[in-house]
Chain A
Amino acid sequence: MDDEALQELHERRAAALRLGGDAAVAAWHAQGRLTARERIDAFADRDSFQELGRIAGAGRYDAQGRYQGFTPSNSVMGRAAVDGRPLMVVADDFTIRGGSSEAAVAEKWIYAERMALDFRMPLVRFVDSAGGSVKLLAKAGRTKLPGYPLWPSTALMGAVPVASVAFGACAGLGAIRAVAAHFSVMVRDQAQVFAAGPPVVKQGLGVDVDKEALGGTELCTRLSGAILNAAADERDALAQVRRFLSYLPSHAWEAPARASVDDDPQRRDEALNHAIPANRRRIYAARPIAVSIADRDSLFELAPDFGASLRTFLARLDGHAVGLMLNDPAVAGGALTRAAAQKMERFVDLCDSFHLPVVHLVDQPGVMIGPDAERAGTLLAAARAGAAIEQASVPWVSVVLRRAYGVGGSMLGPWSGPTGTALNHRFAWPSARWGSIPIEGGVAAAHRREIEAAADPQARRLELEAYYEQLGSPFRSAEAFGVVDIIEPAETRALLCRWVRDAVRLTQLQPAPKRRTQR
Protein backbone atom coordinates (compact mmCIF):
# COMPACT_ATOMS: atom_id res chain seq x y z
CA MET A 1 0.00 0.00 0.00
CA ASP A 2 1.41 3.35 -0.90
CA ASP A 3 1.51 6.21 1.52
CA GLU A 4 -0.40 8.39 -0.90
CA ALA A 5 -3.51 6.23 -0.63
CA LEU A 6 -3.32 6.26 3.15
CA GLN A 7 -2.86 10.00 3.04
CA GLU A 8 -5.94 10.35 0.87
CA LEU A 9 -7.98 8.16 3.24
CA HIS A 10 -7.06 10.38 6.17
CA GLU A 11 -7.84 13.50 4.17
CA ARG A 12 -11.26 12.18 3.22
CA ARG A 13 -11.99 11.17 6.79
CA ALA A 14 -10.97 14.59 8.06
CA ALA A 15 -13.15 16.27 5.44
CA ALA A 16 -16.14 14.26 6.63
CA LEU A 17 -15.65 15.51 10.19
CA ARG A 18 -15.78 19.10 8.93
CA LEU A 19 -19.39 18.58 7.76
CA GLY A 20 -20.51 21.55 5.66
CA GLY A 21 -17.29 23.45 6.41
CA ASP A 22 -16.17 25.83 9.13
CA ALA A 23 -18.36 28.73 8.00
CA ALA A 24 -21.53 26.65 7.73
CA VAL A 25 -20.90 25.02 11.10
CA ALA A 26 -20.19 28.37 12.76
CA ALA A 27 -23.43 29.79 11.36
CA TRP A 28 -25.23 26.70 12.62
CA HIS A 29 -23.77 27.03 16.12
CA ALA A 30 -24.73 30.72 16.12
CA GLN A 31 -28.36 29.55 15.97
CA GLY A 32 -27.76 27.61 19.17
CA ARG A 33 -27.98 24.25 17.41
CA LEU A 34 -25.79 21.16 17.70
CA THR A 35 -24.34 19.61 14.55
CA ALA A 36 -25.31 16.08 13.54
CA ARG A 37 -22.10 14.73 15.06
CA GLU A 38 -22.53 16.70 18.28
CA ARG A 39 -26.07 15.37 18.61
CA ILE A 40 -24.83 11.80 18.33
CA ASP A 41 -22.10 12.45 20.88
CA ALA A 42 -24.58 14.05 23.28
CA PHE A 43 -27.00 11.15 22.83
CA ALA A 44 -24.89 8.02 22.91
CA ASP A 45 -22.73 6.47 25.60
CA ARG A 46 -19.25 8.05 25.65
CA ASP A 47 -17.02 6.84 22.80
CA SER A 48 -19.62 4.27 21.73
CA PHE A 49 -20.29 5.70 18.25
CA GLN A 50 -18.76 3.60 15.49
CA GLU A 51 -19.41 5.45 12.29
CA LEU A 52 -20.21 3.62 9.07
CA GLY A 53 -19.83 5.14 5.64
CA ARG A 54 -17.93 8.20 6.80
CA ILE A 55 -16.30 8.69 3.43
CA ALA A 56 -19.49 8.43 1.38
CA GLY A 57 -20.15 11.70 -0.40
CA ALA A 58 -19.18 13.57 -3.52
CA GLY A 59 -15.51 13.69 -4.52
CA ARG A 60 -14.01 16.46 -6.64
CA TYR A 61 -11.39 15.63 -9.24
CA ASP A 62 -9.26 17.55 -11.67
CA ALA A 63 -9.19 17.01 -15.41
CA GLN A 64 -6.73 14.16 -14.95
CA GLY A 65 -9.04 12.50 -12.42
CA ARG A 66 -6.87 13.32 -9.40
CA TYR A 67 -8.58 13.78 -6.03
CA GLN A 68 -9.11 17.44 -5.20
CA GLY A 69 -11.53 17.38 -2.32
CA PHE A 70 -14.64 15.91 -0.92
CA THR A 71 -18.13 16.91 0.29
CA PRO A 72 -19.46 14.30 2.70
CA SER A 73 -22.93 12.84 2.57
CA ASN A 74 -25.28 14.85 4.75
CA SER A 75 -26.35 11.70 6.52
CA VAL A 76 -24.12 10.64 9.42
CA MET A 77 -24.79 7.14 10.68
CA GLY A 78 -23.44 4.19 12.58
CA ARG A 79 -23.70 1.94 15.56
CA ALA A 80 -23.73 3.39 19.05
CA ALA A 81 -24.81 2.37 22.50
CA VAL A 82 -27.19 3.83 25.06
CA ASP A 83 -27.06 2.51 28.62
CA GLY A 84 -24.69 -0.12 27.26
CA ARG A 85 -27.20 -1.44 24.72
CA PRO A 86 -26.39 -1.26 20.99
CA LEU A 87 -28.51 0.67 18.53
CA MET A 88 -28.28 2.32 15.13
CA VAL A 89 -28.33 6.08 14.87
CA VAL A 90 -28.72 8.11 11.69
CA ALA A 91 -28.48 11.89 11.76
CA ASP A 92 -29.22 14.47 9.03
CA ASP A 93 -26.59 17.17 8.64
CA PHE A 94 -28.35 20.42 7.77
CA THR A 95 -25.07 22.22 7.12
CA ILE A 96 -24.86 20.45 3.76
CA ARG A 97 -27.66 21.33 1.33
CA GLY A 98 -30.23 21.79 4.08
CA GLY A 99 -30.07 18.12 4.98
CA SER A 100 -31.74 17.36 1.65
CA SER A 101 -32.50 13.67 1.34
CA GLU A 102 -31.16 13.64 -2.19
CA ALA A 103 -27.69 14.82 -1.14
CA ALA A 104 -27.45 12.09 1.45
CA VAL A 105 -26.31 9.25 -0.81
CA ALA A 106 -29.61 7.48 -0.17
CA GLU A 107 -28.03 4.05 0.11
CA LYS A 108 -26.34 5.23 3.27
CA TRP A 109 -29.27 6.24 5.45
CA ILE A 110 -31.28 3.32 4.13
CA TYR A 111 -28.41 1.03 5.07
CA ALA A 112 -28.61 2.30 8.65
CA GLU A 113 -32.27 1.34 8.78
CA ARG A 114 -31.69 -2.04 7.10
CA MET A 115 -28.87 -2.76 9.52
CA ALA A 116 -31.13 -1.99 12.49
CA LEU A 117 -33.60 -4.53 11.12
CA ASP A 118 -31.01 -7.17 10.27
CA PHE A 119 -29.05 -6.85 13.52
CA ARG A 120 -32.21 -6.37 15.62
CA MET A 121 -31.10 -3.09 17.11
CA PRO A 122 -33.28 -0.05 17.95
CA LEU A 123 -33.18 2.68 15.32
CA VAL A 124 -32.86 6.34 16.24
CA ARG A 125 -33.34 9.02 13.60
CA PHE A 126 -32.22 12.61 14.07
CA VAL A 127 -34.22 14.37 11.40
CA ASP A 128 -33.26 17.81 10.15
CA SER A 129 -34.14 17.73 6.50
CA ALA A 130 -35.84 20.12 4.17
CA GLY A 131 -36.71 17.28 1.79
CA GLY A 132 -35.78 17.00 -1.87
CA SER A 133 -34.15 19.73 -3.92
CA VAL A 134 -34.76 20.61 -7.55
CA LYS A 135 -31.12 21.61 -7.97
CA LEU A 136 -30.16 17.97 -7.76
CA LEU A 137 -32.43 17.21 -10.69
CA ALA A 138 -30.32 19.49 -12.85
CA LYS A 139 -27.24 17.68 -11.64
CA ALA A 140 -28.65 14.22 -12.35
CA GLY A 141 -30.18 15.27 -15.67
CA ARG A 142 -33.25 13.17 -15.00
CA THR A 143 -36.01 12.57 -12.49
CA LYS A 144 -36.93 9.37 -10.73
CA LEU A 145 -40.11 7.84 -9.51
CA PRO A 146 -40.23 8.77 -5.84
CA GLY A 147 -39.56 6.02 -3.38
CA TYR A 148 -36.83 3.86 -1.90
CA PRO A 149 -37.27 0.18 -2.71
CA LEU A 150 -34.96 -1.14 0.00
CA TRP A 151 -36.20 1.07 2.82
CA PRO A 152 -37.83 -1.28 5.38
CA SER A 153 -39.80 1.46 7.12
CA THR A 154 -42.89 -0.61 7.89
CA ALA A 155 -41.08 -3.86 8.72
CA LEU A 156 -38.97 -1.99 11.25
CA MET A 157 -42.08 -0.99 13.18
CA GLY A 158 -42.81 -4.63 13.97
CA ALA A 159 -39.24 -5.62 14.74
CA VAL A 160 -37.28 -3.00 16.68
CA PRO A 161 -38.02 0.18 18.61
CA VAL A 162 -37.88 3.20 16.29
CA ALA A 163 -37.45 6.66 17.78
CA SER A 164 -37.12 9.98 15.99
CA VAL A 165 -36.24 13.52 16.89
CA ALA A 166 -37.35 16.42 14.67
CA PHE A 167 -34.66 19.05 15.15
CA GLY A 168 -35.60 21.57 12.48
CA ALA A 169 -38.04 22.12 9.64
CA CYS A 170 -38.81 18.60 8.39
CA ALA A 171 -40.73 18.30 5.13
CA GLY A 172 -41.63 15.47 2.81
CA LEU A 173 -39.53 12.38 3.41
CA GLY A 174 -37.97 14.04 6.45
CA ALA A 175 -41.42 14.54 7.96
CA ILE A 176 -42.41 10.93 7.37
CA ARG A 177 -39.14 9.69 8.89
CA ALA A 178 -39.99 11.74 11.97
CA VAL A 179 -43.61 10.61 12.17
CA ALA A 180 -43.31 6.91 11.32
CA ALA A 181 -41.78 5.90 14.64
CA HIS A 182 -42.83 4.37 17.94
CA PHE A 183 -41.61 7.47 19.74
CA SER A 184 -41.22 10.91 18.23
CA VAL A 185 -40.24 14.18 19.82
CA MET A 186 -39.74 17.69 18.39
CA VAL A 187 -37.81 20.64 19.75
CA ARG A 188 -40.19 23.45 20.66
CA ASP A 189 -39.81 26.72 18.70
CA GLN A 190 -37.12 25.08 16.55
CA ALA A 191 -38.70 22.12 14.76
CA GLN A 192 -41.63 21.99 12.39
CA VAL A 193 -43.02 18.90 10.71
CA PHE A 194 -45.20 19.11 7.59
CA ALA A 195 -45.82 17.51 4.23
CA ALA A 196 -44.57 20.70 2.60
CA GLY A 197 -43.30 24.02 3.88
CA PRO A 198 -44.78 27.51 3.46
CA PRO A 199 -43.37 28.28 -0.05
CA VAL A 200 -44.89 25.10 -1.49
CA VAL A 201 -48.19 25.74 0.30
CA LYS A 202 -48.24 29.28 -1.10
CA GLN A 203 -47.64 27.99 -4.59
CA GLY A 204 -50.09 25.11 -4.40
CA LEU A 205 -52.95 26.63 -2.46
CA GLY A 206 -52.30 30.37 -2.47
CA VAL A 207 -52.28 30.25 1.31
CA ASP A 208 -49.89 32.41 3.33
CA VAL A 209 -48.90 30.58 6.48
CA ASP A 210 -45.74 30.65 8.55
CA LYS A 211 -43.92 27.44 9.31
CA GLU A 212 -44.75 27.44 13.02
CA ALA A 213 -48.50 27.70 12.32
CA LEU A 214 -48.20 25.07 9.59
CA GLY A 215 -46.28 22.42 11.50
CA GLY A 216 -45.05 23.74 14.83
CA THR A 217 -45.10 21.95 18.16
CA GLU A 218 -48.60 23.14 19.10
CA LEU A 219 -50.05 21.75 15.92
CA CYS A 220 -48.11 18.48 15.86
CA THR A 221 -48.26 17.46 19.51
CA ARG A 222 -51.67 18.90 20.47
CA LEU A 223 -53.91 18.98 17.40
CA SER A 224 -52.73 16.42 14.85
CA GLY A 225 -50.78 14.05 17.08
CA ALA A 226 -48.25 13.58 14.26
CA ILE A 227 -45.45 13.90 16.82
CA LEU A 228 -45.89 12.50 20.32
CA ASN A 229 -43.83 14.68 22.62
CA ALA A 230 -42.42 18.20 22.78
CA ALA A 231 -38.95 18.99 24.10
CA ALA A 232 -37.76 22.23 25.63
CA ASP A 233 -34.44 22.04 23.79
CA GLU A 234 -32.20 19.65 21.86
CA ARG A 235 -30.71 17.96 24.92
CA ASP A 236 -34.15 17.46 26.44
CA ALA A 237 -35.22 15.73 23.22
CA LEU A 238 -32.19 13.41 23.37
CA ALA A 239 -32.88 12.63 27.03
CA GLN A 240 -36.49 11.75 26.19
CA VAL A 241 -35.37 9.26 23.54
CA ARG A 242 -32.97 7.63 26.01
CA ARG A 243 -35.77 7.46 28.57
CA PHE A 244 -38.17 5.93 26.05
CA LEU A 245 -35.67 3.25 25.07
CA SER A 246 -35.00 2.37 28.71
CA TYR A 247 -38.44 0.72 28.99
CA LEU A 248 -38.19 -1.30 25.80
CA PRO A 249 -36.36 -4.43 24.76
CA SER A 250 -33.79 -4.06 21.97
CA HIS A 251 -36.12 -5.90 19.60
CA ALA A 252 -39.38 -7.83 19.42
CA TRP A 253 -37.70 -11.20 19.97
CA GLU A 254 -37.00 -10.40 23.61
CA ALA A 255 -38.99 -9.10 26.56
CA PRO A 256 -38.04 -5.89 28.39
CA ALA A 257 -35.40 -6.21 31.10
CA ARG A 258 -36.31 -5.64 34.72
CA ALA A 259 -34.77 -2.54 36.31
CA SER A 260 -33.46 -2.28 39.83
CA VAL A 261 -36.17 -1.01 42.13
CA ASP A 262 -36.16 0.64 45.54
CA ASP A 263 -39.91 0.95 45.98
CA ASP A 264 -41.92 -1.48 48.10
CA PRO A 265 -44.29 -3.54 45.95
CA GLN A 266 -46.61 -3.79 48.96
CA ARG A 267 -46.67 -0.03 49.52
CA ARG A 268 -50.19 1.16 50.45
CA ASP A 269 -51.36 4.66 49.72
CA GLU A 270 -54.32 5.59 51.90
CA ALA A 271 -54.81 8.75 49.83
CA LEU A 272 -56.09 6.57 46.98
CA ASN A 273 -59.09 5.64 49.13
CA HIS A 274 -60.17 9.27 48.81
CA ALA A 275 -58.95 9.99 45.28
CA ILE A 276 -62.40 9.67 43.69
CA PRO A 277 -64.88 12.32 44.88
CA ALA A 278 -68.14 10.99 46.32
CA ASN A 279 -70.04 13.48 44.15
CA ARG A 280 -69.93 11.70 40.82
CA ARG A 281 -70.15 14.91 38.86
CA ARG A 282 -66.85 16.12 40.30
CA ILE A 283 -63.58 15.55 38.52
CA TYR A 284 -60.31 14.68 40.21
CA ALA A 285 -56.62 14.77 39.38
CA ALA A 286 -55.81 11.62 37.42
CA ARG A 287 -52.02 11.74 37.24
CA PRO A 288 -51.41 11.48 41.03
CA ILE A 289 -53.22 8.12 40.94
CA ALA A 290 -50.75 6.80 38.38
CA VAL A 291 -47.84 8.32 40.30
CA SER A 292 -48.96 6.59 43.48
CA ILE A 293 -49.42 3.16 41.93
CA ALA A 294 -46.27 2.96 39.77
CA ASP A 295 -42.72 2.57 41.07
CA ARG A 296 -41.37 5.87 42.36
CA ASP A 297 -40.28 8.22 39.52
CA SER A 298 -41.01 5.57 36.91
CA LEU A 299 -43.68 7.33 34.82
CA PHE A 300 -42.83 8.54 31.33
CA GLU A 301 -45.83 10.04 29.56
CA LEU A 302 -46.29 9.64 25.81
CA ALA A 303 -48.26 12.27 23.89
CA PRO A 304 -49.24 14.24 27.00
CA ASP A 305 -50.97 16.99 25.01
CA PHE A 306 -52.82 14.91 22.40
CA GLY A 307 -56.09 13.12 23.16
CA ALA A 308 -55.40 13.90 26.80
CA SER A 309 -58.70 12.47 28.03
CA LEU A 310 -56.61 9.29 27.87
CA ARG A 311 -53.18 9.43 29.45
CA THR A 312 -50.59 6.89 28.31
CA PHE A 313 -47.47 6.15 30.30
CA LEU A 314 -44.52 3.85 30.14
CA ALA A 315 -44.03 2.88 33.76
CA ARG A 316 -42.60 0.26 36.08
CA LEU A 317 -44.20 -2.03 38.62
CA ASP A 318 -41.73 -3.73 40.95
CA GLY A 319 -39.06 -2.95 38.34
CA HIS A 320 -40.96 -4.46 35.40
CA ALA A 321 -41.74 -2.20 32.45
CA VAL A 322 -45.45 -1.87 31.71
CA GLY A 323 -47.75 0.28 29.63
CA LEU A 324 -50.21 2.20 31.80
CA MET A 325 -53.37 3.83 30.46
CA LEU A 326 -55.51 6.11 32.57
CA ASN A 327 -58.53 8.27 31.73
CA ASP A 328 -58.34 11.92 32.73
CA PRO A 329 -61.81 13.28 33.57
CA ALA A 330 -60.47 16.85 33.50
CA VAL A 331 -60.16 16.60 29.69
CA ALA A 332 -63.42 16.11 27.75
CA GLY A 333 -64.81 14.41 30.86
CA GLY A 334 -62.43 11.52 30.15
CA ALA A 335 -64.35 10.57 26.99
CA LEU A 336 -62.95 8.54 24.13
CA THR A 337 -62.46 11.35 21.64
CA ARG A 338 -61.14 10.76 18.13
CA ALA A 339 -57.69 11.79 19.31
CA ALA A 340 -57.83 9.64 22.44
CA ALA A 341 -58.88 6.64 20.36
CA GLN A 342 -56.02 7.13 17.90
CA LYS A 343 -53.63 7.50 20.80
CA MET A 344 -54.99 4.35 22.42
CA GLU A 345 -54.60 2.32 19.21
CA ARG A 346 -50.96 3.29 18.81
CA PHE A 347 -50.16 2.77 22.47
CA VAL A 348 -51.73 -0.69 22.58
CA ASP A 349 -49.84 -1.64 19.41
CA LEU A 350 -46.60 -0.42 20.99
CA CYS A 351 -47.12 -2.39 24.21
CA ASP A 352 -48.19 -5.51 22.35
CA SER A 353 -45.31 -5.34 19.87
CA PHE A 354 -42.67 -5.10 22.58
CA HIS A 355 -44.20 -7.27 25.28
CA LEU A 356 -45.05 -4.56 27.79
CA PRO A 357 -47.91 -5.83 29.99
CA VAL A 358 -50.81 -3.38 29.95
CA VAL A 359 -52.44 -1.85 33.02
CA HIS A 360 -55.65 0.02 32.20
CA LEU A 361 -57.12 2.26 34.90
CA VAL A 362 -60.60 2.99 33.64
CA ASP A 363 -62.89 5.97 34.13
CA GLN A 364 -64.58 5.97 30.76
CA PRO A 365 -67.86 7.82 30.13
CA GLY A 366 -67.92 6.50 26.57
CA VAL A 367 -67.18 7.44 23.01
CA MET A 368 -67.34 11.22 22.60
CA ILE A 369 -70.72 12.43 21.37
CA GLY A 370 -71.90 15.47 19.44
CA PRO A 371 -71.70 16.92 15.93
CA ASP A 372 -68.00 17.79 16.15
CA ALA A 373 -67.10 14.29 17.33
CA GLU A 374 -69.16 12.65 14.59
CA ARG A 375 -67.58 14.83 11.90
CA ALA A 376 -64.11 14.11 13.26
CA GLY A 377 -64.53 10.40 12.63
CA THR A 378 -64.57 9.41 16.29
CA LEU A 379 -66.51 6.20 15.68
CA LEU A 380 -64.03 4.76 13.21
CA ALA A 381 -61.12 5.72 15.46
CA ALA A 382 -62.87 4.00 18.38
CA ALA A 383 -63.48 0.88 16.30
CA ARG A 384 -59.78 0.75 15.34
CA ALA A 385 -58.71 1.17 18.98
CA GLY A 386 -61.08 -1.65 19.93
CA ALA A 387 -59.55 -3.82 17.22
CA ALA A 388 -56.04 -3.08 18.50
CA ILE A 389 -57.13 -4.21 21.98
CA GLU A 390 -58.68 -7.44 20.66
CA GLN A 391 -55.54 -8.15 18.62
CA ALA A 392 -53.28 -7.64 21.63
CA SER A 393 -51.93 -10.84 23.13
CA VAL A 394 -49.79 -9.16 25.78
CA PRO A 395 -50.94 -9.75 29.39
CA TRP A 396 -53.57 -7.19 30.36
CA VAL A 397 -55.28 -6.13 33.56
CA SER A 398 -57.83 -3.40 34.11
CA VAL A 399 -59.11 -1.68 37.20
CA VAL A 400 -62.29 0.34 36.89
CA LEU A 401 -61.84 3.38 39.10
CA ARG A 402 -65.15 5.03 38.36
CA ARG A 403 -67.11 4.86 35.09
CA ALA A 404 -67.18 2.26 32.31
CA TYR A 405 -70.07 3.09 30.03
CA GLY A 406 -71.08 2.06 26.56
CA VAL A 407 -68.78 1.06 23.75
CA GLY A 408 -65.90 3.09 25.21
CA GLY A 409 -66.39 1.38 28.56
CA SER A 410 -66.39 -2.06 26.94
CA MET A 411 -62.87 -1.33 25.69
CA LEU A 412 -61.34 -1.85 29.13
CA GLY A 413 -59.47 -4.91 27.90
CA PRO A 414 -59.62 -7.73 25.31
CA TRP A 415 -62.80 -9.81 25.65
CA SER A 416 -61.56 -12.59 23.38
CA GLY A 417 -58.06 -11.69 22.28
CA PRO A 418 -56.34 -13.08 19.17
CA THR A 419 -56.59 -16.69 20.41
CA GLY A 420 -60.09 -16.41 21.83
CA THR A 421 -58.83 -17.15 25.34
CA ALA A 422 -58.28 -13.70 26.83
CA LEU A 423 -59.54 -13.53 30.42
CA ASN A 424 -60.23 -9.82 30.47
CA HIS A 425 -58.75 -9.84 33.95
CA ARG A 426 -60.56 -6.99 35.68
CA PHE A 427 -60.96 -5.42 39.05
CA ALA A 428 -62.83 -2.39 40.35
CA TRP A 429 -62.71 0.18 43.09
CA PRO A 430 -65.88 0.54 45.17
CA SER A 431 -66.44 3.87 43.41
CA ALA A 432 -67.01 2.09 40.09
CA ARG A 433 -70.25 2.29 38.12
CA TRP A 434 -70.87 0.79 34.71
CA GLY A 435 -73.44 -0.15 32.17
CA SER A 436 -74.44 -0.01 28.54
CA ILE A 437 -75.68 3.53 29.08
CA PRO A 438 -75.43 5.91 32.04
CA ILE A 439 -78.44 5.92 34.36
CA GLU A 440 -79.22 9.60 33.91
CA GLY A 441 -80.61 10.01 30.44
CA GLY A 442 -81.10 6.26 30.18
CA VAL A 443 -83.94 6.40 32.70
CA ALA A 444 -85.49 9.41 30.99
CA ALA A 445 -85.48 7.56 27.68
CA ALA A 446 -86.72 4.15 28.85
CA HIS A 447 -89.44 5.44 31.19
CA ARG A 448 -90.52 8.48 29.19
CA ARG A 449 -94.26 7.73 29.19
CA GLU A 450 -94.33 6.74 32.83
CA ILE A 451 -92.51 9.92 33.82
CA GLU A 452 -94.72 12.12 31.67
CA ALA A 453 -97.87 10.50 33.12
CA ALA A 454 -96.79 10.97 36.73
CA ALA A 455 -98.37 13.68 38.87
CA ASP A 456 -94.89 15.04 39.57
CA PRO A 457 -92.73 13.97 36.60
CA GLN A 458 -89.54 15.37 38.10
CA ALA A 459 -90.02 13.49 41.36
CA ARG A 460 -90.87 10.28 39.52
CA ARG A 461 -87.73 10.57 37.39
CA LEU A 462 -85.53 11.04 40.46
CA GLU A 463 -87.25 8.12 42.15
CA LEU A 464 -86.58 5.88 39.17
CA GLU A 465 -83.00 7.07 38.96
CA ALA A 466 -82.46 6.31 42.64
CA TYR A 467 -83.82 2.80 42.07
CA TYR A 468 -81.49 2.17 39.14
CA GLU A 469 -78.66 3.71 41.12
CA GLN A 470 -79.05 0.96 43.70
CA LEU A 471 -78.93 -1.65 40.95
CA GLY A 472 -75.73 0.02 39.71
CA SER A 473 -73.74 -0.92 42.80
CA PRO A 474 -70.55 -2.71 41.71
CA PHE A 475 -71.12 -5.22 44.53
CA ARG A 476 -74.15 -6.56 42.67
CA SER A 477 -71.94 -7.15 39.61
CA ALA A 478 -69.31 -8.79 41.82
CA GLU A 479 -71.96 -11.19 43.17
CA ALA A 480 -72.38 -12.45 39.61
CA PHE A 481 -68.57 -12.45 39.11
CA GLY A 482 -68.90 -9.62 36.60
CA VAL A 483 -65.60 -8.42 38.01
CA VAL A 484 -62.94 -10.63 39.53
CA ASP A 485 -62.87 -8.52 42.68
CA ILE A 486 -63.68 -5.16 44.21
CA ILE A 487 -60.48 -3.90 45.83
CA GLU A 488 -59.58 -1.22 48.33
CA PRO A 489 -57.91 1.54 46.27
CA ALA A 490 -54.98 1.66 48.72
CA GLU A 491 -54.09 -1.94 47.85
CA THR A 492 -54.02 -1.39 44.07
CA ARG A 493 -50.23 -1.22 43.82
CA ALA A 494 -49.79 -4.46 45.74
CA LEU A 495 -52.33 -6.21 43.51
CA LEU A 496 -50.70 -4.98 40.31
CA CYS A 497 -47.17 -5.78 41.48
CA ARG A 498 -48.26 -9.37 42.19
CA TRP A 499 -49.99 -9.55 38.81
CA VAL A 500 -47.00 -8.21 36.88
CA ARG A 501 -44.80 -11.06 38.09
CA ASP A 502 -47.17 -13.56 36.51
CA ALA A 503 -47.51 -11.36 33.43
CA VAL A 504 -43.76 -11.17 32.90
CA ARG A 505 -43.47 -14.94 33.22
CA LEU A 506 -45.62 -15.09 30.11
CA THR A 507 -43.93 -12.34 28.12
CA GLN A 508 -40.56 -13.99 28.71
CA LEU A 509 -41.64 -17.41 27.47
CA GLN A 510 -40.96 -17.09 23.77
CA PRO A 511 -41.24 -13.49 22.76
CA ALA A 512 -41.66 -13.08 19.05
CA PRO A 513 -42.71 -10.31 16.70
CA LYS A 514 -46.45 -9.91 16.31
CA ARG A 515 -47.80 -10.60 12.85
CA ARG A 516 -49.06 -7.08 12.42
CA THR A 517 -46.87 -4.01 12.75
CA GLN A 518 -47.93 -0.81 14.43
CA ARG A 519 -50.55 0.79 12.22
Chain B
Amino acid sequence: MSARHVRAPATGTVWQLAAELDAPLAAGSVVLYVESMKMEIPATMPQAGRVTAWLVRVGDAVEEGQPLAELG
Protein backbone atom coordinates (compact mmCIF):
# COMPACT_ATOMS: atom_id res chain seq x y z
CA MET B 1 0.00 0.00 0.00
CA SER B 2 1.42 3.39 -0.89
CA ALA B 3 1.81 6.17 1.68
CA ARG B 4 -0.50 9.17 1.53
CA HIS B 5 1.83 11.60 3.23
CA VAL B 6 5.42 12.68 3.45
CA ARG B 7 6.23 12.71 7.16
CA ALA B 8 8.73 14.68 9.21
CA PRO B 9 12.03 12.76 9.55
CA ALA B 10 12.85 14.56 12.80
CA THR B 11 11.47 17.07 15.27
CA GLY B 12 12.42 20.60 14.25
CA THR B 13 11.26 23.42 12.01
CA VAL B 14 10.43 23.43 8.31
CA TRP B 15 13.52 24.91 6.67
CA GLN B 16 12.81 24.79 2.96
CA LEU B 17 10.22 23.40 0.53
CA ALA B 18 12.18 21.57 -2.14
CA ALA B 19 9.57 20.28 -4.58
CA GLU B 20 6.96 21.76 -6.92
CA LEU B 21 3.31 20.94 -6.39
CA ASP B 22 2.01 18.35 -8.85
CA ALA B 23 5.44 17.75 -10.41
CA PRO B 24 6.29 14.06 -10.89
CA LEU B 25 8.85 12.94 -8.30
CA ALA B 26 10.87 9.75 -8.06
CA ALA B 27 10.90 7.64 -4.91
CA GLY B 28 13.52 8.99 -2.51
CA SER B 29 13.66 12.48 -3.99
CA VAL B 30 13.71 15.34 -1.50
CA VAL B 31 10.37 17.06 -0.85
CA LEU B 32 11.40 19.46 1.89
CA TYR B 33 14.04 20.00 4.55
CA VAL B 34 13.41 20.03 8.27
CA GLU B 35 15.97 21.85 10.37
CA SER B 36 16.83 19.82 13.45
CA MET B 37 19.90 20.13 15.69
CA LYS B 38 21.19 22.75 13.17
CA MET B 39 21.10 20.21 10.36
CA GLU B 40 18.91 20.16 7.28
CA ILE B 41 17.24 16.78 7.35
CA PRO B 42 15.58 15.87 4.05
CA ALA B 43 12.05 14.50 3.98
CA THR B 44 11.81 12.27 0.94
CA MET B 45 9.19 10.68 -1.27
CA PRO B 46 8.25 7.25 0.13
CA GLN B 47 7.35 6.21 -3.43
CA ALA B 48 7.16 7.80 -6.88
CA GLY B 49 4.30 10.29 -7.14
CA ARG B 50 3.33 13.93 -6.77
CA VAL B 51 2.92 16.35 -3.91
CA THR B 52 -0.68 17.57 -4.14
CA ALA B 53 -0.73 19.85 -1.09
CA TRP B 54 1.57 21.25 1.56
CA LEU B 55 0.40 20.77 5.14
CA VAL B 56 3.10 23.03 6.61
CA ARG B 57 4.89 26.28 5.81
CA VAL B 58 8.51 27.32 6.16
CA GLY B 59 9.22 28.08 9.80
CA ASP B 60 6.52 25.78 11.21
CA ALA B 61 7.55 23.63 14.15
CA VAL B 62 6.98 19.95 13.37
CA GLU B 63 7.14 16.73 15.35
CA GLU B 64 8.86 13.61 14.10
CA GLY B 65 6.34 11.59 12.09
CA GLN B 66 3.99 14.51 11.50
CA PRO B 67 2.48 14.64 7.98
CA LEU B 68 4.10 17.47 5.98
CA ALA B 69 2.69 17.04 2.50
CA GLU B 70 -0.11 15.14 0.84
CA LEU B 71 0.69 12.75 -1.96
CA GLY B 72 -1.43 12.05 -4.98
Contact = CB atoms under 8 A, between A and B. Distances in A.
Interface of A: 281-283, 329-335, 365-366, 368-370, 372, 438, 440-441
Contacts of B51: none
B38 A438 contact: yes
A331 B38 contact: no
B40 A331 contact: no
Interface string B30-49: 00000111111110000000
18 contacts: A281-B35, A282-B40, A283-B42, A329-B39, A330-B41, A330-B42, A332-B10, A332-B11, A332-B36, A332-B37, A333-B10, A334-B37, A334-B39, A365-B39, A366-B37, A369-B37, A370-B11, A440-B38
Contacts of A365: 37-39
Contacts of B11: 332, 370, 372
Contacts of A441: 38
A331 B9 CA distance: 7
Interface string B1-41: 00000000111100000000000000000000001111111
Contacts of A333: 10, 12, 36-39, 41
Nearest to A283: B39
B9 A330 contact: yes
A440 B40 CA distance: 15
Nearest to B37: A333
A283 B38 contact: no
Contacts of A281: 35, 38-40
Contacts of B42: 283, 330
Contacts of A372: 11
A334 B9 CA distance: 12
Contacts of A331: 9-10
A328 to B, nearest CB: 11
A368 B10 CA distance: 12
Contacts of B41: 283, 329-330, 333
Most buried by B among A333, A335, A440, A441: A333
Contacts of B12: 333
B15 to A, nearest CB: 8
Contacts of A438: 38
A511 B38 CA distance: 43
Contacts of A369: 37
A366 B37 CA distance: 9
Nearest to A332: B10
Contacts of A332: 10-11, 36-37, 64
Nearest to B10: A332
Contacts of A282: 39-40
A365 B41 CA distance: 14
List the 8 shortest-distance A-B pairs measured between CB atoms, nearest first. Answer: A333-B37, A333-B39, A365-B37, A281-B40, A333-B36, A335-B37, A332-B10, A329-B39
A370 B37 CA distance: 10
Most buried by B among A332, A368, A440: A332
B55 to A, nearest CB: 20
Contacts of B37: 332-335, 365-366, 368-369
Contacts of A330: 9, 41-42
A38 B49 CA distance: 45
A440 B37 CA distance: 11
A370 B12 CA distance: 10
A283 B64 CA distance: 17
A437 to B, nearest CB: 11
Nearest to A441: B38
Contacts of A366: 37
